[in-house]
A and B are shown apart, each in its own frame.
Chain A
């Protein structure tokens, strides 16, 4: 049996499970499949067998460990507080070290790509973006994933120019800045929503913040280290820590990015020095929604609504990486309720995962659609015109599924609503 360094580290969490099975009620994947290998209890049991040396990294095991959204609903509702997400990520990391990234991805990928038309769209996209790859391949290893996922979706059009090409490196407020914030772009804002990036920079600068946008910043690493590639994850972590070494805060408008940057210290440290540096870095990271309310202490009632949203009914979708990874749920709602001119309607299943799960949706697109269908029911029940969230990953998936279901809602990032 191979080296199981990472699983050993989280053995205590695996052992906390008392097999009550309550996680089955909260697991979006189990809710669709109704099979024990889908749910936290089953995955945890098998992980324990790996630790004991009784179970190997078989192709079946790769599929089981891969088929998890990491939405953390199981962990959030576990009476024994088992952090099963940590166990799943550790199992992936050990598997990647033993078998290589292609093993875990490749096995499932062959199934996912059986669809010829999807394959064609994928190839076309790859062609379109070939020019991009040599430039970023070394830095952004998950970019092919990102593009693969687009090949099969109703995807918002990619921006003609990316944020990285247009953004300045320093934005100063008039007057003495009250603090210096590093803006972390993240892939989606960089490639798809560059205007949102400018908007947030402007929002912060107008409130007396000096914003720097280091060119050396990299991908946050979520798709990389959650897939088990810790080695690349560490490289990205080091690059980002270096890029943002001289700021008071690092702010991201992507829930996944902000949580990923905060959590380097949880998943990636290999020694005490790393642990110390990653923790110190993580403490400076704030999600934009959290930063506006908790740090800038903006009074939501002073926020001015952008004209086009006046009279609309708006609902909020909790991204997993905000509500469960960062416990951010009140701040975005406070902002939304502060806007005058919109009606806020709470979604009945606001904190249910949208089904995206990063590269999960690349490999299990049919499951993603089924899980998203439940989200769509929640959205319909609110009668909202607009679905607001704060994670571009969720936005992409929500747009895709709203279109699939022939629904009228538009999807926006929370801060797009502000004038």
Chain B
């Protein structure tokens, strides 16, 4: 419990309306986008300036109170759950887009800006922020940077860290520092900026960010490719890329998900197909035309049973809407869904898919696969019920197998969701102890009191 006097201090700093202590409010800040990680904070505060953040953090540091930064709370790792109680530092009221610089192709934003709001605003200027985590309707920029989020468009455009030029950060000491800058190139000493990207809020609180933008490509085309074997679809991914075409998205939907989508919103995906790959090519119209033809040619050559280019934007949107509904389809069909985001080098996708199928059989559980095949980031999901102990135990074993399998194939534990609480139990297993110690050393240097989002990443 936090002392009453501290609550009063917070109220003085941020105003009464920005300090919540009712049981109901604390409960509403006890979760994120995951299923099972729940813990109530002692207080939720809503700073509106970096100096308010600094004032709160300073007090927390002096009193050794845990501080969990939080934005939209859409993350899938337990990362914004206040695992040791204390303060939830909710950044949602710092939600201004401060500047859009067309000459420099950059934008300055506060951490509470929701990605979709940014996207809509940038579109008016003909610009976009390429990383596209599928939680864009609720995810805030501070969280997106802290988790180094990615999405489908990462095949061509990369992930968040490639689009952050600089940040303003409040350290555990209460100091406000700027890292990076506004330029594309910057080699002035250690690249400390990137230590904060994907630090999951354990090193400091981002209070401002300078983002790199791209002009919106003038043309897009969607290609639907059908396979009678999901592993062949996995091969289709790297065959297209190795033949010189870099689509902006390559998404995979397996048979089980296709059928759930068709039940929810029939759009004519082939129900008997073992898998479908959705490609999107973007760029100047002539190039997109050529790339689409090339995708058709290559995928046909490597085992596709049917290929179709969407005739217009409406048809294309239908397929992408279906892909978006994929996760809802999975989550709607089971009490508990263990959704992973293991990532393997692209060439090993077929192996990973085979591994998933093997494990599904071995442990007699439903494993569905959909995800960003283009970058090797799959989301195998296991359908189970946390209330059914026996089934859940089998599901967990299958999940362990998938993660071990991915690592054996040269992959990683998490491609875009982060470690948080959800993947802690695997983190130490797959990470070199020396590397873990280095991380802990960095943490100890920047946050000696261990107040910044404690209890996350490592056990």
Question: Which residue numbers of A lie inside 8 Å of B, CB to CB?
Answer: 16, 18-26, 34-37, 42, 45-46, 49, 55, 58, 60-61, 64, 79-81
- Are B324 and A19 within 8 A (Cβ)? no
Q: Whose C-beta in chain A lies nearest to the C-beta of B324?
A: A79
Which of A16, A20, A25, A46 contacts B33, CB < 8 Å?
Answer: A20
Q: Whose C-beta in chain A lies nearest to the C-beta of B332?
A: A80
Name the A residues within 8 Å of B116 (CB-CB): 25
Q: Which of B23-31, B176-184, B271-279 touches A?
A: B23-31
Question: 0/1 per residue, B35-67, Cβ < 8 Å to A?
Answer: 100000000001000000000000000000000
Name the A residues within 8 Å of B324 (CB-CB): 79
Assembled-state Cα–Cα distance A35/B71 (Å): 10
CB distance from A259 to the nearest CB of B (A): 24
- Are B331 and A18 within 8 A (Cβ)? yes
- Are B27 and A46 within 8 A (Cβ)? yes
CB distance from A32 to the nearest CB of B (A): 11
Q: Whose C-beta in chain B lies nearest to the C-beta of A43?
A: B28
- Are A37 and B28 within 8 A (Cβ)? yes
Which of A18, A22, A64, A81 contacts B138, CB < 8 Å?
Answer: A22
Q: A19-B32, A24-B137, A34-B93 are in contact. Are A45 and B328 (CB under 8 A)?
A: no
Q: Whose C-beta in chain A lies nearest to the C-beta of B29?
A: A36
Name the B residues within 8 Å of A18 (CB-CB): 33, 35, 328, 331-332, 337
Q: Is the interface of B mostly helix, strand, loop or mixed?
A: loop
- Are B27 and A49 within 8 A (Cβ)? yes
Which of B22, B23, B46, B135 contacts A20, CB < 8 Å?
Answer: B135
Q: B327 at interface (Cβ–Cβ under 8 A)?
A: yes
A and B contact pairs by CB, cutoff 8 A, 15 listed: A18-B337, A21-B72, A21-B137, A22-B74, A23-B138, A24-B72, A25-B138, A35-B92, A37-B24, A42-B28, A45-B28, A45-B31, A55-B27, A58-B23, A81-B328
Which of A19, A26, A55 contacts B24, CB < 8 Å?
Answer: A55
- Are A20 and B325 within 8 A (Cβ)? no
16 more CB-based (< 8 A) A-B contacts, given A21-B137, A60-B25: A18-B35, A18-B328, A18-B337, A19-B34, A20-B327, A21-B72, A23-B138, A24-B138, A34-B92, A34-B93, A36-B73, A37-B25, A42-B28, A46-B28, A58-B23, A80-B331
Which of B20, B27, B327 contacts A35, CB < 8 Å?
Answer: B20
Name the B residues within 8 Å of A35 (CB-CB): 20, 25, 28, 46, 92
Name the A residues within 8 Å of B31 (CB-CB): 19, 45
Question: Which residue numbers of B lie inside 8 Å of A, CB to CB?
Answer: 20, 22-25, 27-29, 31-35, 46, 72-74, 92-93, 95, 112, 114, 116, 135, 137-138, 324-325, 327-328, 331-332, 337
Name the B residues within 8 Å of A19 (CB-CB): 31-35
Assembled-state Cα–Cα distance A81/B328 (Å): 9
Q: Whose C-beta in chain A lies nearest to the C-beta of B139?
A: A21
Which of A21, A34, A81 contacts B74, CB < 8 Å?
Answer: A21
Name the B residues within 8 Å of A55 (CB-CB): 24, 27
User: Which of B24, B29, B324 is packed against the most chain A CB atoms within 10 Å?
Assistant: B24
CB distance from A251 to the nearest CB of B (A): 32
- Are B24 and A25 within 8 A (Cβ)? no
Q: A45-B31, A46-B24, A55-B24 are in contact. Are A20 and B73 (CB under 8 A)?
A: no
CB distance from B451 to the nearest CB of A (A): 23
Q: A21-B72, A24-B72 are in contact. Are A61 and B24 (CB under 8 A)?
A: yes
Name the A residues within 8 Å of B35 (CB-CB): 18-19
- Are B46 and A34 within 8 A (Cβ)? yes
CB distance from A238 to the nearest CB of B (A): 36
Assembled-state Cα–Cα distance A24/B29 (Å): 14
User: Which of A37, A58, A79 is packed against the most chain B CB atoms within 10 Å?
Assistant: A79
Assembled-state Cα–Cα distance A79/B324 (Å): 8
- Are A34 and B112 within 8 A (Cβ)? yes
- Are A34 and B95 within 8 A (Cβ)? yes
Assembled-state Cα–Cα distance A23/B74 (Å): 11
CB distance from B22 to the nearest CB of A (A): 5
Name the A residues within 8 Å of B46 (CB-CB): 34-35
Which of B72, B92, B325 contacts A79, CB < 8 Å?
Answer: B325
Name the B residues within 8 Å of A37 (CB-CB): 24-25, 28
Name the B residues within 8 Å of A36 (CB-CB): 25, 28-29, 73
Assembled-state Cα–Cα distance A390/B29 (Å): 39
Which of A25, A45, A80, A81 contacts B114, CB < 8 Å?
Answer: A25
CB distance from B408 to the nearest CB of A (A): 30
User: Which of A20, A46, A55, A61 is packed against the most chain B CB atoms within 10 Å?
Assistant: A20
CB distance from A320 to the nearest CB of B (A): 19
Assembled-state Cα–Cα distance A36/B138 (Å): 11
CB distance from B144 to the nearest CB of A (A): 13
CB distance from B267 to the nearest CB of A (A): 15
Assembled-state Cα–Cα distance A22/B139 (Å): 9
CB distance from A68 to the nearest CB of B (A): 14
Assembled-state Cα–Cα distance A176/B116 (Å): 57
